[in-house]
Amino acid sequence: MNVRLLAAAALLLASCAPPPPPPKAPEKAPPEPAAEEWYPQVTADLAALNRKAGAEYRAGRRKEAGRLVVEGQALAARLLAKPHATLAAMEAADDLDLLYARLLQDEHNLGWARLVLQKSVARWTNWRPVTPESEQRRKQALAGIAAIDRAIAAQ
């Protein structure tokens, strides 16, 4: 009798369990950033802004170059917020960071300049696939860090 009672209790408890969840639909891959309508335009805008800021910097108008760098940071953040940013977007963001690092160095903000260059090193160390251009950019940032370290040591 105990066996029948236990079997009935087990059957009753099993019937009270919630039904199993329906099978999950396969997850959709996130859309590629370049496929979004705004992405190529923002990338081109940032590249143009970089060229203008670089021209201002070379002309000695560092204040104007700095204003453009600040303006470009919002564009770079928007581009890099997407997973799998395009190479063009990464290069534009990196060009902006390199100019920002030079501006910081000019103002003797060596620690901040070093931090910006470390971000560039991380960006290109983790870029896949590794290309000669990405490796050259990584080495350029490392050389900038080494120069800053020498300047800090000389102080």
Six token digits for residue 84: 């799998």
From the list 102, 86, 95, the residue with the least C-alpha distance to 50 is 95
Distance CA 155, CA 148 (A): 11
Residue 3: inside a domain: no
What confidence tens digit (pLDDT) does each residue in 89-145 have? 999 999 999 999 999 999 999 999 999 999 999 999 999 999 999 999 999 999 999
Q: 112 lies in which domain range?
A: 34-154
Which comes out higher in pLDDT, residue 82 or 55?
A: 55
Residue 7: inside a domain: no
Residue 24: inside a domain: no
Indicate whether 16 pLDDT > 70. no
Residue 95: which CATH number? 1.25.40
φ, ψ at 86 (rounded to 5°): -75, 160
Share of the chain above pLDDT 90, in %: 73
How many structural domains does the chain have? 1
